[in-house]
Amino acid sequence: IIVFLSLMVVFGGIFTISFVNVTRATHPVLNISTWIIVGVSGLLALAGLVVPYKYLIVPAIVVAAIGCNLMLVTSALRWYQKDSAARFYTFSWIALLFGGILLALSKFTILPRNVFTENGVQVGSALGIILLSIALADRIRHINMKTQQLQREMNAELESRVAERTSELEVANQRLKELSATDGLTGVFNRRFFDRRLEEEAARCQRQGALALLMIDVDHFKGYNDHHGHPAGDRALTELGVMLRDFSRRSLDTAARVGGEEFSLVLFDCQLPGALERLERLRRKVEALALPHPDTEAGALTI
């Protein structure tokens, strides 16, 4: 009786700390007090192997009573703090304590010894085990609910990340398409894109309206490169590319570099007078850049 009564308090205390989550960080007083009772009960269990029964029964019952009440207070506190499993745990300790009290009172001859008082601990333990099983099932239910919630949150986060990456990939693919269709120096479309777009616009113009095709060539560009150097020639072509993009603001207009210093503008639904007017405006704008060129009549870069 001494050994197993003390071991009940030892394992009950350890189980209580774990089951109702009474850690040193969250409940330091209860945690330390329970461990003290566990240690004393462990010593009584060892002493029960060698010390006579009559010397240990009273200390064992007192320590067990203190330990069981401490566990009851602990579980009641956790119940008050909204731990759902603690309510079943509290009732299980009440059942166990009731049986233990009956046994203790009979040992102290306060109650007579009979089948009820002598077997009170066994009956209380059986009720406690049933209630602890319910508490464990409730704890598993809450763990499953938290796991499912965590799974949903993880799935939502994963879907969000996948959508974000998909969006990034779509932007990157669109950027790659633009880069594959764009001239790296001037920023306008390249020859391959121009050929495909010209076919599409020619077919569209047969159904819907006129199409203007403007061919633009930089005058004496080889002489400009020879005189000023290739970096200056590249800068001049870049400037022309910026102007061409400004002249093709409509969604169906297309500016492209079709050769070294040769450019093209495809203007959808544009009649001849309008095309000539825009081309003349572009010519004047290029001449107004006043990029010095020794081989032209204007003394500047022209188209």
pLDDT at 179: 67
pLDDT digits (tens, 9 = 90+) for 204-215: 877 777 888 889
pLDDT digits (tens, 9 = 90+) for 17-35: 888 888 888 889 989 999 9
239/216 Cα distance (integer angstroms): 14
| Length of the chain counted residue by residue | 303
Helices (H) and strands (E) in the chain, counts: 10, 3
159/153 Cα distance (integer angstroms): 10
Q: Would the pTM count as exceeding 0.75?
A: no
Other residues' Cβ atoms within 10 Å of the Cβ of residue 101: 18
Calculated CA dihedral for residues 141, 145, 147, 151, nearest 10 degrees: 150
pLDDT digits (tens, 9 = 90+) for 169-199: 888 887 777 667 888 888 888 888 888 888 8
- Span 228-249, average pLDDT: 85
Whose CA is closest to 125, among 45, 41, 11, 35?
Answer: 11
266/213 Cα distance (integer angstroms): 5
pLDDT at 33: 92
Q: Which two tokens stand for residue 199?
A: 């076919």
Pairing verdict, β 262-268 and 254-257 = antiparallel
pLDDT at 300: 84
